[in-house]
C-alpha cells in the first residue's frame, strides 16, 4: 500500500566535509481533531410572537403616542379613543342604577309594612302578594342596571389600548384623529423577548442534521453579540429558487434588547463528527512501509531538528488523505515529502510553503 524503504540506505550514514547533511523536507503540524465542528450559515431575525392590536369599541383616536420602531413596555399606552360618549353612557347608567336602588329601598320598606298589616289581618293575602312581586321586580331592576353599568364601564376601559407585553412597534396602521371600528388593526407589536432566526440548509447538509448538537446566533451589527438558541424545526422539503431547506431556531433575549426583526446574522450549528471522521488525518504521501513491512511516518523533533520513524496504525482513506488511528498526536510535525532520503536521527530543514 505504501512505498517501501531501501534497507541498505536505512543503515548508511554518509558524511560530507566532516558535517552531516541537512535534508530539506516538506512537513506539516498535525492538527487536533475535535469531536465536533461548526457550520456557519447566513441568517435573518424574524418575530416569533407578533400581535395586531385593536380597540374593542369604535371611536375617534384622540391619542396615539407611538411610532414605528419604538420600544414600548408592558402596560404602556398605545392609543386612546375619545372617551366622552362612553363617559356619558356610564354616567347615565349610574344615575339609572341609583334610581333603581331608591325604588328597591322603598319597595323593601313597603313590603315590611304590608307584612305587619297582614299579620294583624288588616290586609288580605292578595295585597301582600302584589307587594312581594313589586319588591322582586325592584330587585331585578337593580341587578339589570348593575349589569348595564358594568358593561358601560367596561366599554369605557376599552377606549384605552395598552401594550400586552414589552415589544417594538413594527407597523402603524392608523393616524391621530382617525375613526376606527372595533377590531380594526391599530399597530403591529412584536415581542422582543422571543425572536426566531431563519437560515437555509443546502441539500448537502441535510444528511448531517441528525448530528446537530448546539445552536448559536451571532449578530455582527451588535458587536458580535452571541446568543444561544433552540431548534424549532427544519423544513421537510426544499424551497425554490435556491433549492434549500429552511431551518428555524428560537432565541430568548429578555425585554431589554437591541435586536430587531430583519437584522442579519450568522447561525452557528455545532455538528458531531461522524464515526469515520474522528481521527487525525494526514496526506497519504506522509505514510510509508518500513523494511519489516510495518506502516510508519517520520516525525520531526522541533528542538533538535532531527527525524525519527514511528509506527502508526492507519484507518481508511479520506478526502484529506488517510486516517491515523494511533501513533501520532496533535501538534507534532510529520514529514509529507522527501521520505526516501530520511534515516533515523537525520537532521532536516522544513521548507516553507
Mean pLDDT of 65-92: 95
The CATH code of domain 50-78+159-189 reads 2.40.50.100
Three-state DSSP class for residue 342: coil
Please state the φ and ψ torsions of residue 116, each to the nearest 5 degrees: -70, -45
**What distance in Å separates the CA atoms of residue 70 and residue 187, rounded to the nearest whole number?**
11
Predicted confidence band of residue 150 (pLDDT cuts 50, 70, 90)? very high
pLDDT tens for each residue of 210-237: 999 999 999 999 999 999 999 999 999 8
Instruction: Copy the grid coordinates of residue 255.
Output: 425585554
Query: Class assignment of domain 84-157?
Result: mainly alpha
pLDDT value of position 326: 87
Read off the DSSP letter of residue 211.
G
Q: What percent of the chain has pLDDT over 90?
A: 58
Whole-number Å distance between alpha carbons of 330 and 328: 7
Phi then psi for residue 2, to 5 deg, are -110, 155
The CA distances from residue 230 to 74, 87, 196, 197, 270, in Å, are 25, 49, 9, 10, 12
How confident is the model over 4-23, as pLDDT tens digits? Answer: 554 444 443 443 444 568 88
Position with higher pLDDT, 64 vs 291: 64
Residue 246 confidence (pLDDT):
95
Convert 264-294 into a string of H (helix), E (strand) and C (coil): EEEEEEEEECCHHHCCEEECHHHCEECCCCC
pTM assigned to the model: 0.59
Compute the distance between CA of residue 70 and CA of residue 28 in angstroms, rounded to an integer.
55
Q: Average pLDDT for residues 67-74, to the nearest whole number?
A: 92
Cell matching residue 31: 492538527
How many Å apart are CA 283 and CA 87, to the nearest integer? 85
Nearest to 133 by CA among 143, 125, 121: 125
Distances (CA, A) of 110 to 98, 123, 135, 136, 245: 18, 13, 8, 12, 81
CATH of domain 7-33+279-350: 2.40.420.20
Sign of CA dihedral 109, 114, 116, 117: positive
| Model confidence pLDDT, tens digit, residues 267-281 | 999 988 776 566 888
Angle at 83 between CA 78 and CA 88, to 5 degrees: 160
Q: What is the pLDDT of residue 9?
A: 43
Select the CATH number that applies to the domain covering 36-48+192-274 from these four: 3.30.56.10, 3.40.190.10, 1.50.10.10, 2.40.30.170.
2.40.30.170
Cell numbers of 20, please? 552531516
Q: Identify which has the larger pLDDT, 117 or 12.
A: 117
Locate 109 and state its grid cell: 320598606
H/E segment holding residue 81: strand 77-81
Q: Where are the domains of the chain?
A: 7-33+279-350, 36-48+192-274, 50-78+159-189, 84-157
What is the structure's pLDDT at 300? Answer: 94
Mean pLDDT, residues 40-45: 95
Amino acid at each position: 500500500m505504501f512505498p517501501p524503504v531501501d534497507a541498505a540506505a536505512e543503515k548508511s550514514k554518509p558524511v560530507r566535509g566532516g558535517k552531516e547533511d541537512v535534508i530539506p523536507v516538506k512537513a506539516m503540524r498535525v492538527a487536533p481533531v475535535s469531536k465536533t465542528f461548526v457550520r456557519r450559515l447566513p441568517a435573518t431575525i424574524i418575530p416569533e410572537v407578533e400581535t395586531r392590536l385593536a380597540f374593542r369599541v369604535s371611536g375617534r383616536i384622540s391619542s396615539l403616542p407611538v411610532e414605528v420602531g419604538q420600544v414600548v413596555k408592558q402596560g404602556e399606552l398605545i392609543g386612546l379613543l375619545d372617551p366622552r360618549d362612553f363617559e356619558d353612557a356610564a354616567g347615565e347608567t349610574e344615575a339609572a342604577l341609583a334610581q333603581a336602588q331608591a325604588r328597591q329601598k322603598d319597595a323593601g320598606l313597603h313590603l315590611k309594612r304590608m307584612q305587619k298589616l297582614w299579620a294583624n289581618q288588616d290586609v288580605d293575602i292578595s295585597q301582600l302578594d302584589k307587594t312581594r312581586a313589586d319588591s322582586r321586580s325592584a330587585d331585578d331592576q337593580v341587578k339589570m342596571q348593575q349589569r348595564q353599568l358594568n358593561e358601560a364601564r367596561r366599554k369605557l376601559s376599552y377606549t384605552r389600548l395598552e401594550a400586552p407585553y414589552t415589544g417594538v412597534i413594527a407597523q402603524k396602521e392608523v393616524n391621530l384623529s382617525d375613526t376606527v371600528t372595533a377590531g380594526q388593526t391599530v399597530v403591529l407589536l412584536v415581542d422582543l423577548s422571543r425572536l426566531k432566526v431563519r437560515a437555509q440548509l443546502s441539500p448537502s447538509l441535510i444528511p448531517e442534521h441528525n448530528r446537530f448538537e448546539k445552536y448559536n446566533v451571532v449578530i455582527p451589527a451588535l458587536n458580535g453579540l452571541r446568543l444561544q438558541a433552540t431548534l424549532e424545526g427544519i423544513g421537510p422539503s426544499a424551497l425554490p429558487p435556491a433549492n434549500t431547506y429552511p431551518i428555524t431556531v428560537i432565541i430568548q433575549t429578555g425585554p431589554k434588547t437591541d435586536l430587531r426583526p430583519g437584522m442579519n446574522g450568522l447561525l452557528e450549528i455545532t455538528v458531531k463528527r461522524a464515526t469515520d471522521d474522528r481521527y487525525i488525518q494526514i496526506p497519504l504521501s506522509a505514510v510509508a512501509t518500513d523494511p519489516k513491512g510495518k506502516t510508519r511516518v517520520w516525525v520531526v523533533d522541533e528542538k533538535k531538528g532531527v527525524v525519527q520513524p514511528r509506527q502508526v496504525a492507519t484507518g481508511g482513506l479520506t478526502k484529506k488523505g488517510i486516517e491515523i488511528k494511533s501513533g501520532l498526536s496533535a501538534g507534532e510535525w510529520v514529514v509529507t515529502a522527501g521520505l526516501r532520503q530520511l534515516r533515523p536521527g537525520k537532521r532536516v530543514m522544513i521548507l516553507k510553503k
